[in-house]
Homo-oligomer: A and B are copies of this chain.
């Protein structure tokens, strides 16, 4: 007899109870192995699924010879726990919430996907389920990115759904994201003789003025309104209390509509701040919503809501870059993601499960 090495996941639980069980299985980024093991163990022996493992990413797919294939993906890691596990239920204003790390981002969506993967033996489309590691950390560690490099063949598909929290609504595409460091230089001097030097901090005043006065655009892309933003997310400068500083830096984040490329975004920043040294420290293309695809339209109809734009960058952009239309669809309010009081309205979990089940079985 072999000792069990990890607690089992019981996929026959209802999706809310399964969400609690998955949350109570901690899997902070870098520490996903036990949860990935449990997922593989829970799916073991299901004849309708082919299981592929890459590191702590688990792929499960049907091979039913359907005309179309849908990729349904979600990450299995969370940001660090901050005294917000184990989960608990709480009721406020008549609404029942499941509280705790991961309930929103995104173990509710993950639980729905795991349950449907096990139960949907005969879906109307072929499905490639992808549950991946390292989403909450540096992009170069991202399990989905690694899988795309190792096994690009697994990304064959006509439409993709990412289970990121979207209040159970369909959020299409995502804004692009660039971050730059703008620098000004001067000359050091003793601050008792400031006129001998040239103050680099004073020189960044126009950057802050322009940021404070900037009116971000809202750009319509394929029927969705993408609200942009341009923000200082950091500023630094200074040597000592008696020294005129010779360098100052403003760290600027531009979130831009998916009709624009990273190159367009950088051009815009160069137009706004032509006189500063500009170092690009992060760049990610946005993703068009892709809602003109017939499969996407069927899905939106099945979910029964007006699609909305996604502002935050998500891994839908990886699918978009591969030419696969992709949307976000999962339970939980994104404003509660990463919050210490992260909690999900449990009705959103059951709604997501029911909508997805209906669409995948042709009932909707």
CB distance from A355 to the nearest CB of B (A): 25
> A235 to B212, Cβ gap below 8 A?
no
CA distance A211 to B241 in the complex (A): 16
Q: Judge whether A335 is part of the interface by a CB distance below 8 angstroms.
A: yes
Chain A 29-74 interface residues, beta-carbon cutoff 8 Å to B: none
Chain A 194-243 interface residues, beta-carbon cutoff 8 Å to B: 194-196, 199, 201-205, 208-209, 211-212, 216, 227, 229-243
CA distance A237 to B250 in the complex (A): 9
CB distance from A188 to the nearest CB of B (A): 10
Q: Judge whether A311 is part of the interface by a CB distance below 8 angstroms.
A: yes
**Which of B193, B238, B253, B255 is close to A233, meaning CB atoms less than 8 Å apart?**
B238
**Which of B216, B238, B253 is close to A242, meaning CB atoms less than 8 Å apart?**
B253
> B235 to A192, Cβ gap below 8 A?
no
CA distance A216 to B244 in the complex (A): 15
Q: Which residues of B contact A282 (CB under 8 A)?
A: 241
Range class of the A interface residue count: 35 or more
Consensus secondary structure, chain A interface:
mixed
Q: Judge whether A281 is part of the interface by a CB distance below 8 angstroms.
A: yes
Q: Judge whether A359 is part of the interface by a CB distance below 8 angstroms.
A: no
Q: How many copies does the complex hold?
A: 2
CA distance A240 to B234 in the complex (A): 7
Q: Judge whether A313 is part of the interface by a CB distance below 8 angstroms.
A: yes
CB distance from A194 to the nearest CB of B (A): 4
> A233 to B243, Cβ gap below 8 A?
yes
**Which of B193, B234, B241 is close to A312, meaning CB atoms less than 8 Å apart?**
B193
Q: Judge whether A101 is part of the interface by a CB distance below 8 angstroms.
A: no
Q: Which residues of B contact A216 (CB under 8 A)?
A: 194-195
> B234 to A245, Cβ gap below 8 A?
yes
> A195 to B234, Cβ gap below 8 A?
no
Q: Which residues of B contact A240 (CB under 8 A)?
A: 233
> A192 to B238, Cβ gap below 8 A?
no
> B234 to A235, Cβ gap below 8 A?
no
Q: Judge whether A27 is part of the interface by a CB distance below 8 angstroms.
A: no
> B191 to A229, Cβ gap below 8 A?
yes
CA distance A192 to B244 in the complex (A): 35
> B229 to A233, Cβ gap below 8 A?
no
Query: Which residues of A are at the interface with B, using a C-beta cutoff of 8 A?
Result: 175, 177, 179, 190-196, 199, 201-205, 208-209, 211-212, 216, 227, 229-245, 248, 250-251, 253, 255, 281-282, 311-313, 335
Q: Taking A177-B192, A205-B205, A312-B190 as contacts, is the C-beta distance between A244 and B235 under 8 angstroms?
A: no
CA distance A255 to B205 in the complex (A): 21
Complex: chain B residue closest to A189, CB-CB? B335
> A192 to B232, Cβ gap below 8 A?
no
Q: Which residues of B contact A204 (CB under 8 A)?
A: 208, 235
> A208 to B212, Cβ gap below 8 A?
no
Apart from A192-B313, A204-B235, 17 more pairs, CB < 8 Å:
A175-B192, A190-B335, A191-B231, A191-B233, A194-B229, A194-B230, A196-B335, A199-B232, A202-B208, A204-B208, A232-B245, A233-B240, A233-B243, A233-B245, A234-B241, A235-B236, A236-B238
Q: Taking A196-B335, A253-B191, A312-B190 as contacts, is the C-beta distance between A235 and B233 under 8 angstroms?
A: no
